[in-house]
Structure 1
């Protein structure tokens, strides 16, 4: 898979060391796979020493965690802003549903690396990531429950299943979406968000 734009795309040797290491690690993990990329290859490509890597990241495992965590932080910030607005709940949910699609596509290598390599995280990091994802999903689910309790959305399907339905589609984006395909990120986001809203229609 060719490396795509991520939240940390930077010039080769112009960025601060942590960002440079993360950009290089993302590219190598995407091209070769996490388990086939060595720490030595990362530091050589970034033009730094192993000591510099271990100063900012305790291990290769920390790099893998940060690849995903930076995307999730962005998505959480955007979801919190949307969910906390004064807009009607149907507008807030649709905006949140579309945003997670767009931000995932814009950071597709990050998402692909994570879902391909999550099982290789240490137990501690895996637990941390699951907690971070759960917080995001719970905020998203709260929007669905708000609409269901007020009668705006159908309550025929439990909110947990609705969340799984939408995020199942999001998690598979890295397996089929291509930048040169017929749909833009926003068009894909609009289609998937509309599917979700139709499923919740009373």
Structure 2
């Protein structure tokens, strides 16, 4: 987290510094961007920089926190659905809104996987926790598996599909790839999640996967 002196800077100055850092990390990668070049581009002396951040990793964490906050803002809060059809429609709308944000904010697109991947607890898991709880209430999501495990596995599946979709958005037509409600990405994600949530693909207790002959 930034040091207290950074938080006391005017909001415009904080956003300028974080904006420069975000662009540099997006362009050169979270491992490749130079801390010295970032602070130089932001017009911050080395002495001042170490009053604002403990170092490069601290600055990167602040940038990724900002990316995650914007992703969650794009998703919006999960509101309880009326029925199973409404649940799917709300899920598709959230996915579409997130994709539109990534289409319009290439720096966030470049850093999205890094931002999501560093989060083990917090608002990101809370969002999917609300999704799973609502799905269980409607009978869309199974209740015979521990809720925490279901949330973790749901996040893992969504992150894997997101990584695949983000790679396509970087290499294909962004506008086409971001059209999530009817896209291949959303269809495949929904199919994967339905198998996970319903348990229909599970082998019944005592059955083998091959015929016993």
- Sort the TM-score into its range (normalised by shorter chain): 0.5 to 0.7
Name the larger-Rg structure.
2
Q: CA deviation at 1:176?
A: 3.0
Query: Could you tell me which of 25, 31, 52 is aligned with 1:29?
Result: 25
Query: Taking structure 1 as the reference length, what is the TM-score of the superposition?
Result: 0.63
Q: What SS does the aligned partner of 1:175 have?
A: helix
Q: What SS does the aligned partner of 2:33 have?
A: coil
CA deviations on 1:177-200 (whole Å, 9 max, x unpaired) are: 238616435414642334444553
Query: Are positions 1:17 and 2:13 aligned together?
Result: yes
Distance in 2 between the 1:43 and 1:64 partners?
12
C-alpha change, 1:139 and 1:24, in structure 2 (3 Å) is closer
- 1:1-202 alignment to 2 at 5 Å? 16-81=12-77, 83-84=78-79, 88-113=86-111, 115=113, 129-132=119-122, 135-151=123-139, 153=140, 155=142, 159-160=150-151, 161-178=153-170, 181=173, 183-184=175-176, 186-188=178-180, 190-191=182-183, 192-199=185-192, 200=194
C-alpha change, 1:85 and 1:149, in structure 2 (3 Å) is closer
Q: CA deviation at 1:85?
A: 5.8
CA deviations on 1:63-110 (whole Å, 9 max, x unpaired) are: 2112221121123344453x1366643332222233333334444434
Query: Taking structure 2 as the reference length, what is the TM-score of the superposition?
Result: 0.61
CA deviations on 1:124-146 (whole Å, 9 max, x unpaired) are: xx6xx4323xx423422432442
Q: Is the 8 A contact 1:93 1:144 kept in 2?
A: no
Count of residue pairs brought into register by the alignment: 176
Distance in 1 between the 2:191 and 2:115 partners?
33
Deviates more, 1:106-115 or 1:15-24: 106-115
Structure 2 unaligned regions, length at least 5:
1-10, 199-213
Distance in 2 between the 1:71 and 1:32 partners?
16
C-alpha change, 1:33 and 1:172, in structure 2 (3 Å) is same
Structure 1 unaligned regions, length at least 5:
1-14, 120-125
C-alpha change, 1:85 and 1:22, in structure 2 (3 Å) is same
Q: Is the 8 A contact 2:75 2:95 kept in 1?
A: no
Distance in 2 between the 1:131 and 1:51 partners?
33
Distance in 1 between the 2:66 and 2:180 partners?
22
